[in-house]
Amino acid sequence: TIYALSSAPGRGALAVIRISGPASDMALKHLMMRDELPPARKATLTSLTAPNGELLDRGLVLRFQAPLSFTGGEDCAELHLHGSPAVVHAVQDALRELRLRPAEAGEFARRAFDAGKLDLTQARAQPHHAHLHAHHSAWLDVEGLADLLAADTESQRRQALLHSTAHLTVAFPLPSVAARLEAVIDFGEDEGIAEDVAAGVLPLVCDLRQQLEGHLASAASGELVRTGVRIAIVGPPNAGKSSLLNLLAGQEAAIVSPAPGTTRDVVQVQLELGGVKVILIDSAGLRQTDCPIEAEGVRRAVAAAHQAHIVLHLADATSGAAADGVDSRGQLADVALPLPAQIVQLWVMNKADLVPGCHEAAGATVPPAPHLLVSCKSGQGIDQLLALLQQHVRALVASGGDGGMAGALVTRARHKRTSVPPDILVALQHLEVQCEEVRAAARALGRVTGAIDTAMVLDSLFCEFCIGK
Amino acid sequence: MWRRGLSSVAQGWLSCDVVVVGGGHAGCEAAAAAARRGAATLLVTPSPSASIGEMSCNPSIGGVAKGTLVREVDALDGLMARAADAAGIQFRMLNASKGPAVRGPRAQMDRVLYKWAVQRMLGGVPGLAIHDGAVVDLLVEPRPSGGGPGPVVAGVVLASGERILCRSVVVTTGTFLRGVIHVGSHSRPAGRIASLTSAREASRPEAAREAELTDEADVTAAGAATRLARRFADLGFALGRLKTGTPPRLDGRTIDWSVCEEQPGDGAPTPFSFLHLQQPGWSPPAGQVSCFGTRTTAASEALVLDCMASGERRDGMTVAQGGCVEPRYCPSLETKFRRFPGRTHHVWLEPEGLGTDVVYPNGISNSMEPEDQLRLLQTIPGLGAARMLAPAYAVEYDYVDPRELAPTLETRRLRGLYLAGQINGTTGYEEAAAQGLVAGANAAAPGGRDPLLLSRADGYLGVLVDDLVGRGTSEPYRMLSARAEFRLRLRPDNADLRLTEAGLQLGLVGAERAASFQQRRQQVEDAEQLLDAIQLSSSAWARRGLHVSQDGDYISAAQMLTRPGITLSQLAAAAAAEQVPGWQQLQELAAAAAVSAVPYLEKMEAEVAELRRDEALLIPEWLDYSALQLSAEDREKLTAARPTSLAAAQRIPGVTPSALLLLLQHVRKRQPREGGGDGSRRSSAADGSSQLAQEAAAEAAASGF
């Protein structure tokens, strides 16, 4: 049973994960923590839960029973999630834990074909259908094909990774690693190529793994650098979110007024922090409201928080709730939680200048730990806040973060296969079984970089060893 | 006895079903396989009793991957394994310390015994006649009566002018297509020098006489094959040129064995043939001897480099530097020293037989002047006083680009024409025999019905054919286990379980082997049951030194085998100590040790199922790729490779997923879905241990392997 993100990678309002295979129903039951299945072909709003009991997201689940499914011969399901990379990751992790595997490029389409279910012309996106109808039908097929492939998982990821990994085949000693193992198997006995040649492969494999992980991480953070780190400022109305945005951006990007609820829509400002592109997002204050316009603003604010890398919770130090940080957090919790664990959350209190006795404490963190007292008016604590943000932004970029969805997905999907676990090389006694691991790694890497075929391995083998019987 | 078989050729034959051209390893298997399938078959070769079953190069059969090929040929009732068992004078199981999938049965041969064994077996094949002659041309029918594209072969023309009409022709001319032999600066057209290999000056005068006869036959064959080569060129076949070499032959009585390292054979020789494996207590009928080893020295290197510098041919190049490609795994000594300077190289001293003193010094093939070769010998310990019976030589020859062939080994250009062996760019007796069997079996099938088509998942036979027809080759192709992606399944010990059933269905397997196979299959099933039946409590296993978690449950031997590091012999010892019923039988079950690779095998089974599904999606041979909306690059690659199935198309490097989907759609239109879904096509020759593997796999998964 396979799964794949079927909507475009990156941020969006929705992300759709498609599942196909006999274990689809099982996976749904586990995610929904229910014994009965949702009705087929009807959208069901439900909580999705990881096998460890952690809540992943609330979303829509669609179940399709074979043969009335995309792949025809198999049960399918679609999970419509919030379009946050973190949510998508978490759900994919959960699916993998349930022993589903990521789909290969074109695999969904392939399964649909095999079931005789899918005609490519039908599969084409409807809006373009009429437009293209005049064209030769074969051309139509190709169009549909391209759409399908594009929607069908890995090709985008591969695209994203291609330029950063194109040189890997050359740089990585995988053919050489394979060559040494194969040499011992095929020629060891006659040519006196001893097993210590194979043992010498281990450091190479470890080195390879390190390199590979480095490349994947840089592919991910490369994406993060390209798209920018998103910082959302959220908090109750009139906490000074827009003031903070204007202050940090150094421009009047958002309208500021003393009236609570001034900001209705999401305001984005792009700036640079420590050499990294950052998108600062201001949004409506979080509160229960009967005004439909403000309610929509709140909804957007919550969505913005979900899609951010860093959420900066801003509270008013003078408000009653601010006396107790837990409450000011609780106020947000009512409306917006849960935020996925991957999002960095910072708690900051504004209007330090209005709190008597707080002047000298401004800029210092007050317990509980993550709180920072600032004043947008006096500028107190702003330098510290900037330093704190910069520190988190750098850490995100260095770690690859979660914003580099493409890279990170690859990291996750490939991790198990591309990194040859050295313990396997040590633990198993038979060389040919060890070699099977390296072959699997070569196949996996080959899917990204272009195939590493037997000819390459043999080239490497005959370069390195004099085979002469 | 065998001579009578050969001489009983019906002189008046004007027509038969299949003509096989050539009596080498490919030709013999092709002729026997075609006849086994019921085709009236004629093997045509000059001086049959002299040339059939000749070993032109090293006196050895088998090895890693090659040994598996021999077993697979045997599983389909071919000749090679039985002949090798009859003629083997030193048996060794290579990689014995490694897992069962990569073990390689190999044996040194007595050339004369081998030749006799092959000729005796051929003489006993019903429906097979042998004709003394040389085929110089093909009869071609430009427009077939039955329709279908392209010309069809109609028969052969012999040097004598005789014409033989037939339905199919299998050409197995080895290195004889425009073959040129170089000994130093002297060249002459020929495919081999048989008198070298049987050693004119050896102690047995009758062997020398036979060698001369073989030489005469070879001269005839060379002339004929050159005319045949012209025909191939005229038909438009893409031809290439390859080179290989063979070392000098030495008089063993003049070698100082005391300074050489002895390499004895295995104490308990393992036969090649499953028929012999089924005979308890089988031992080689021929006497057993040792091989010996020595090494080149720095002086050898200096001499060879010196000779290369001075010994330029008239055209300015030595053969080693010449235009043709020599195999990288069998380089000439010149190449070894040039590419790996500053090293010494192995020289393996292999006796050529029991009744001869001729020794084959493996590893020093070259094309130096004979006097330089003598000086070379003097630089190698043990060979200082060795008498050179015949110099080393190199041979250049034409081969047909195997991408001209369908997976049946029939040429696409000329229906009914099949090619097998070195003519397809391969090297090695085993590779030749394997192709011969495939070509012969298919040549016998009327109208291409019931072809013998083996997949990469079925055996090395499938890998060999698929590599050749799919990718072609630019150097002499040798089978390596590295080429088999399903290596863990394709064990030499289970070749019969993989293939014999398919052979039975095609009528390729005779009654004797059928009976033996049924017996063997029963034994394997019994073994699986035994492994499941032998159970000990966890504490009992622990008592015998095999530590498992102490939960008091009973654990079967099959389950124990899935744990890393536990061997069958350990289990057998524990079972014996505990006196579990069946412990005696357990000790005989070495092959089942492969279960330790179960998680990998399980993964492979899934890949195999996928492969079989894609192999079932046949692409019409004359598909017009320009009519499909493919990218220029995809179109070019597909047009050049002409894959026969979607599986083959997927293996063409660089073909995009979009192109594959487009192909798939096209194929689907033509080929309505059969059953659909997965698992609809399971191999009829399924691995006998797969059930066991699955059960054990479940256990392995549970124990967190």
Percent of residues, chain B, with pLDDT higher than 70: 82
With a CB cutoff of 8 Å and minimum separation 6, the contacts of A295 are A289
Same domain, B526 and B650: no
For residue B104, which residues of chain A lie inside 8 Å, CB to CB? 189
Determine the CATH number of domain A137-225+410-463: 1.20.120.430
Question: CB–CB of B6/B57 below 8 Å?
Answer: no
Question: CB–CB of A199/A453 below 8 Å?
Answer: no
Query: Cα–Cα distance between B410 and B443 in angstroms, integer?
Result: 8
Same domain, B308 and B278: yes
Q: Is residue B625 part of a domain?
A: yes
Determine whether the interchain pair A469/B346 forms a contact, defined as Cβ–Cβ distance below 8 Å.
yes
Q: What is the pLDDT at residue A159?
A: 39
* CATH code (residue B550): 1.10.10
Nearest CA to A113 out of B666, B654, B612, B624 is that of B666
Question: CB–CB of A228/A279 below 8 Å?
Answer: yes
With a CB cutoff of 8 Å and minimum separation 6, the contacts of A404 are A219, A220, A221, A222, A223, A224, A227
Question: Which amino acid, residue A442?
Answer: A
Question: CB–CB of A148/A106 below 8 Å?
Answer: yes
Tokens linked to A161: 């990774």
User: Using omega within 30 degrees of 0 as the cis cutoff, is the peptide bond preceding B341 cis?
Assistant: no
* CATH code (residue B310): 2.40.30.260
Same domain, B392 and B286: yes
A434 Cα to chain B: minimum distance (Å): 10
Question: CB–CB of B124/B7 below 8 Å?
Answer: no
Residue-level pLDDT, tens digit, chain A, 469 residues: 888 888 776 667 788 999 999 889 999 998 988 888 888 888 888 888 888 888 888 889 999 988 888 777 789 999 998 877 778 888 888 898 888 888 876 677 777 766 655 443 333 333 333 333 333 333 333 333 333 333 333 333 443 344 334 344 444 567 788 888 888 889 888 887 776 777 777 777 777 776 666 665 655 555 565 567 888 888 888 888 888 888 887 766 667 777 776 777 778 887 777 667 788 888 888 777 778 887 888 888 888 888 888 888 888 877 654 444 444 444 444 444 567 777 888 888 888 777 665 544 444 444 444 568 888 888 888 888 888 888 888 777 666 543 333 333 343 334 334 444 444 444 445 678 778 877 877 776 665 555 667 787 888 788 778 877 7
Q: Is the pLDDT of residue B316 over 60?
A: no
For residue A4, which residues of chain B lie inside 8 Å, CB to CB? none
Same domain, B323 and B355: yes
Same domain, B291 and B337: yes
Q: How many domains does chain B have?
A: 3
Determine the CATH number of domain A229-380: 3.40.50.300
Query: Cα–Cα distance between A417 and B490 in angstroms, integer?
Result: 23
| Beta-bridge mates of residue B410 | B418
Query: Cα–Cα distance between A168 and A150 in angstroms, integer?
Result: 24
CB pairs under 8 A between A and B: 139
Burial degree of A170 (CB within 10 A; 0-12, 13-18, 19+): exposed
- How many CB atoms neighbour CB B409 within 10 A? 30
Question: Which amino acid, residue A397?
Answer: V
Same domain, B526 and B666: no
Q: Is residue B68 part of a domain?
A: no
* CATH code (residue B621): 1.10.150.570
* Domain boundaries of chain A, sorted by first residue: 2-103, 137-225+410-463, 229-380
Residue with tokens 């099949």: B418
Query: Cα–Cα distance between B252 and B359 in angstroms, integer?
Result: 6
For residue A190, which residues of chain B lie inside 8 Å, CB to CB? 63, 94, 346, 348
DSSP state of B684: T
Residue with tokens 């036969």: B271
Q: Which of B65, B654, B665 lies closest to A141 in CB terms?
A: B665
Average pLDDT, chain A: 69
Element (H, E) at A110: helix A107-114
B556-605, pLDDT tens digit by residue? 887 887 776 677 777 887 887 888 887 767 766 644 444 444 555 666 67
Query: Cα–Cα distance between B19 and B517 in angstroms, integer?
Result: 30
Same domain, B623 and B590: no
Q: Is the pLDDT of residue B272 over 90?
A: yes
Tokens linked to B636: 């070019």
Q: Is A102 helix (H, G, I), strand (E, B) or coil?
A: strand
Residue B566: closest CA among chain A residues belongs to which residue?
A: A429
Determine the CATH number of domain A2-103: 3.30.1360.120
Question: Which amino acid, residue A412?
Answer: R
Burial degree of B679 (CB within 10 A; 0-12, 13-18, 19+): exposed
Same domain, B247 and B392: yes
Determine whether the interchain pair B597/A430 forms a contact, defined as Cβ–Cβ distance below 8 Å.
yes
Residue B326: closest CA among chain A residues belongs to which residue?
A: A468
Same domain, B358 and B277: yes
A426 Cα to chain B: minimum distance (Å): 11
- How many CB atoms neighbour CB B209 within 10 A? 13
Nearest CA to A106 out of A144, A54, A50 is that of A144
Q: Give the torsion sign (CA, A317, A321, A323, A329).
A: negative
- Residue B269 is part of which domain span? 241-396
Is some CB atom of chain A closer than 8 A to the CB atom of B658?
Answer: yes
A42 Cα to chain B: minimum distance (Å): 25
Q: Is residue B272 part of a domain?
A: yes
A211 Cα to chain B: minimum distance (Å): 25
Please, where are the H alpha helices in B472-510?
495-505
Same domain, B392 and B245: yes
A102 Cα to chain B: minimum distance (Å): 15
Same domain, B646 and B544: no
* Distances B490 to A198, B78, B429, B436, B691 between C-alpha atoms, Å: 22, 18, 20, 20, 16
Residue A428: closest CA among chain B residues belongs to which residue?
A: B564
Same domain, B592 and B623: no
For the full predicted model, state whether its pTM sits above 0.95.
no
Of B342, B373, B396, the last residue of a domain is B396
Nearest CA to A19 out of A59, A91, A78 is that of A78
Determine whether the interchain pair A73/B677 forms a contact, defined as Cβ–Cβ distance below 8 Å.
yes
Q: What is the pLDDT at residue B139?
A: 94
